[in-house]
Amino acid sequence: MQGKKILLGISGSIAAYKMPLLVRLFIKAGAEVKVVMTPAAADFVSPLALSTLSKNDVSLHLSQNNSWENHVMLGRWADLFLIAPASANTVAKMASGFCDNLLLAAYLSATCPVHVAPAMDEDMYRHPTFTNNCKKLESFGDVIINPTHGELASGLVGMGRMAEVETIFTHIEKALGTAQRLKGKSALVTAGPTYENIDPVRFIGNYSSGKMGLAIANALANEGAQVTLIMGPSNVTASHPLIEQINVRSAAQMLEASVAHFSQSNIAVMSAAVADYKAKNIAQEKIKKSGSEGLNIELEKTTDILKTLGQLKTDKQILVGFALESHDEENYALKKLKEKNADLIVLNSLNDPGAGFMQDTNKVTIYNKNGSKIAFELKSKSAVALDIVDQLITLL
């Protein structure tokens, strides 16, 4: 974590007493740490202990010693904002845009990724408002570090216990990309829709936004991989220095670029929503309304890029495909895994609210060629990308 800047936000929960240990782990790993606390958090853990360990002043109030505490610069300073423990109250305020303490002001103005480790008693954890608030945070792009089952402050045993400090540390290490597990590897990612021209003004397309593919490219690059992102028509643009983005329009152009880069790639993730059919003949002039009531456009199949790469694949390459299904999901996903010679298939079901096209969240099940299957919760697309990258790393 050498040189990485972590802003740690602590809210009022008994789990706050563990935070000095986490600060120590970050500092020992070479990170710079600043701490911002809610006033309630100071009842559970000493600001003096945190400032001593972080070697920085702890920010507690919107104004301190007659001067205004610059929450905007706190959020801009950080490479990552971790809010741990995040109480039900703080999560609710974050989801609703409240700004009545310094931690919330820093959250609202943070420009860096935000990771949230909730902590609360099981009944609060199970309350639908908390579930909805977490979904809201994920829709903003924040990543939730799921609580676990265990002993709670109430004396009960159940869900809601904050993830262990070591788990949070490993999660942040991955999110910052400091583990660099893919250093020296190269990866190819397809993303977005394709547009198949019908005439000079019309095309066959789909609603894919390219956000899932961009999130995967970012996650791979954060782990140190050199990434080629082949993007169909979309507004999203990669900014990571390890990502080279190639913009294409049609399935044929995406195929050509993918095949050209595949042999140099250790990893290929095909997340694009490629058109399955294109017009057999593209009209050179705009098709005019004719006297007849109907219009038939003859379509022909495009080449399946994933399947083509599956045929070219060597034992040293990892190939990941997606399956977007509306029914009989598992059967179709397993069929695609086998027929396209993929190592992993990431299934999106159109029946899951919050998953799929044009959303900032996704809910996936990952099928592995070794027969295993993992079903994940609804998460932000960047959190789903971390899960996909974790899975493919186990295969490398």
Q: Does 306 bind ligand CTP (CB under 6 A)?
A: yes
Which one of residues 1, 165, 270, 344 is an interface residue with ligand CTP (CB under 6 A)? 270
Q: Is 285 exposed, middle or buried (0-12, 13-18, 19+ CB in 10 A)?
A: exposed
Question: Closest distance between ligand CTP and the C-beta of residue 303, in Å?
Answer: 6
- Under DSSP, is residue 336 helix (H, G, I), strand (E, B) or coil? helix
What does the alpha-carbon distance between residue 272 and residue 246 come to, in Å, rounded to a whole number? 13
Which one of residues 305, 318, 344, 389 is an interface residue with ligand CTP (CB under 6 A)? 305
- Under DSSP, is residue 333 helix (H, G, I), strand (E, B) or coil? helix
**For ligand CTP, which residue has the nearest CB?**
305
- Based on the residue annotation, tell me whether 206 is a catalytic residue of this protein: yes
Q: Residue 304 or 387: which CB sits closer to ligand CTP?
A: 304
Which one of residues 19, 60, 251, 383 is an interface residue with ligand CTP (CB under 6 A)? 251
Which one of residues 85, 113, 192, 321 is an interface residue with ligand CTP (CB under 6 A)? 321
Q: Residue 79 or 304: which CB sits closer to ligand CTP?
A: 304
Return the closest-CA partner of residue 164 out of 43, 18, 17.
Answer: 18
Question: Closest distance between ligand CTP and the C-beta of residue 236, in Å?
Answer: 16
Q: Which residues have C-beta within 8 Å of that of residue 270, sequence separation ≥ 6?
A: 189, 190, 258, 305, 306, 309, 319, 320, 321, 322
Phi, psi of 374, deg, nearest 5: -125, 125
Q: Does 360 bind ligand CTP (CB under 6 A)?
A: no
What does the alpha-carbon distance between residue 276 and residue 297 come to, in Å, rounded to a whole number? 15
Q: Does 196 bind ligand CTP (CB under 6 A)?
A: no
Q: Residue 286 or 335: which CB sits closer to ligand CTP?
A: 335
Selecting among 206, 247, 266, 368, the annotated active-site residue is 206
Find residue 347's DSSP bridge partners: 323, 365
H/E stretch holding 122:
helix 122-126
Q: What is the secondary structure of 242-303 as a DSSP string?
A: TEEEEE--SHHHHHHHHHHHHTT-SEEEE--B--SEEESS--SSPPPP-SSS-----EEEPP
Q: Does 356 bind ligand CTP (CB under 6 A)?
A: no
Phi, psi of 349, deg, nearest 5: -105, 135
Q: Does 364 bind ligand CTP (CB under 6 A)?
A: no
Q: Residue 86 or 254: which CB sits closer to ligand CTP?
A: 254
Restricted to residues 102-121, the positions that interact with ligand CTP (CB under 6 A) are none
Q: How many residues bind ligand CTP (CB under 6 A)?
A: 15
Q: Residue 11 or 190: which CB sits closer to ligand CTP?
A: 190
Of 79-87, 88-96, 100-108, 302-310: span binding ligand CTP (CB under 6 A): 302-310
What is the pairing mode between strands 148-151 and 344-349?
unpaired
Q: Does 302 bind ligand CTP (CB under 6 A)?
A: yes
Question: Closest distance between ligand CTP and the C-beta of residue 283, in Å?
Answer: 22
Q: Does 272 bind ligand CTP (CB under 6 A)?
A: yes
The one-character DSSP state at 193 is B
CB atoms within 10 A of CB 72: 13
Q: Residue 127 or 301: which CB sits closer to ligand CTP?
A: 301
Q: Residue 44 or 262: which CB sits closer to ligand CTP?
A: 262
Q: Does 230 bind ligand CTP (CB under 6 A)?
A: no
The tokens describing 45, both together, are 């853990």
Which one of residues 79, 142, 173, 304 is an interface residue with ligand CTP (CB under 6 A)? 304
CB atoms within 10 A of CB 225: 27
What does the alpha-carbon distance between residue 319 and residue 192 come to, in Å, rounded to a whole number? 18
Q: Does 248 bind ligand CTP (CB under 6 A)?
A: no
CB-based contact 356:332 (threshold 8 Å): no
- Residue entry with tokens 């942040």: 172
Q: Does 336 bind ligand CTP (CB under 6 A)?
A: yes
Q: Does 323 bind ligand CTP (CB under 6 A)?
A: yes
Restricted to residues 173-192, the positions that interact with ligand CTP (CB under 6 A) are 190
Number of H helices, E strands in the chain: 13, 24
Residues at the interface with ligand CTP (CB under 6 A) = 190, 251, 270, 272, 274, 276, 302, 304-306, 321-324, 336
Write out the catalytic residue numbers.
206
